[in-house]
């Protein structure tokens, strides 16, 4: 998680998929009845012109506007993208400020809050992502509650840490399904109408039933096309 954000900028490398592969995957998702969580990528991986063209093509293939999760986006950029997007996703990851500063040094929260304010002005929907298991506790839920209320968040993605080698979380213990479920349940109780998406992975399929029962609307992050 956030491994790239801890690296010096001169070591950052971009890996861009072809437009054809993105649209082909979108066609498969549409045929299989899978909803698109968001279009994601590094903010600087595409120029504004290139990304605008990609959004146009995605809009044509999907027949609908999409969410975007490409980092903190300026008001001018949102204005350009608005014909093709329904909302923006802020990759907040953790609402605990101490932990956030440690694990997301290149992703400060303020630019995301500015983006959410721009989205409000442009009448776009707002969503956020949270990753559990970074060092926060359930006592931090009130911070999340404040953030959701402050920015009128309509959708939230709850992921759980998937430790990767050569990162500060290499030897970290993965959160239990009960812990992820507790965050989802508390969010559902506080915000009955919010759209909650629960992230899983290939080794967390057995978590799906519980996460849906406690309040998740859907699941995401399962690499179905890659796996099959």
Among 9-18, 19-28, 91-100, 164-173, name the one with the lowest average pLDDT. Answer: 9-18
pLDDT of residue 151 exceeding 70: yes
* Structure tokens given for 195: 């759209």
What's the predicted TM-score (pTM) here? 0.91
pLDDT of residue 203 exceeding 80: yes
How would residue 228 be classed by pLDDT, with cut points 50, 70 and 90? confident
Summarised one tens digit per residue, pLDDT across range 121-142 is 999 999 999 999 999 999 999 9
User: Which residues have CB under 8 Å from 118's CB, separation 6+?
Assistant: 73, 74, 75, 78
pLDDT score for 9: 56
Alpha carbon distance 125, 122 (integer Å) = 9
Summarised one tens digit per residue, pLDDT across range 5-28 is 555 555 445 567 889 999 999 999
> CA separation (Å) from 123 to 126, 194, 198?
9, 17, 26
């Amino acid at each position: 998680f956030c491994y790239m954000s801890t690296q010096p900028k001169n070591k950052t490398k971009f890996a861009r998929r072809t437009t054809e592969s993105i649209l082909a995957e979108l066609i498969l998702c549409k045929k299989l009845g899978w909803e698109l969580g968001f279009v994601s990528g590094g903010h600087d991986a595409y120029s504004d012109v290139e990304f605008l063209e990609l959004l146009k093509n995605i809009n044509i293939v999907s027949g609908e506007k999409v969410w975007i999760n490409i980092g903190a986006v300026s008001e001018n950029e949102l204005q350009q993208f608005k014909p093709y997007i329904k909302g923006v996703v802020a990759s907040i990851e953790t609402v605990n400020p101490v932990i956030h500063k440690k694990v997301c040094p290149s992703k400060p929260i303020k630019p995301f809050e500015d983006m959410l304010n721009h989205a409000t002005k442009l009448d776009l929907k707002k969503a956020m992502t949270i990753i559990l298991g970074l060092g926060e506790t359930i006592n931090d839920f009130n911070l999340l509650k404040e953030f959701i209320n402050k920015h009128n968040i309509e959708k939230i993605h709850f992921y759980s840490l998937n430790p990767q080698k050569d990162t500060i979380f290499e030897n970290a213990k993965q959160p239990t399904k009960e812990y992820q479920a507790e965050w989802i349940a508390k969010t559902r109780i506080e915000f009955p109408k919010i759209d909650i998406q629960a992230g899983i992975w290939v080794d967390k399929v057995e978590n799906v039933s519980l996460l849906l029962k406690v309040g998740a609307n859907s699941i995401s992050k399962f690499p179905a096309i890659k796996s099959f």
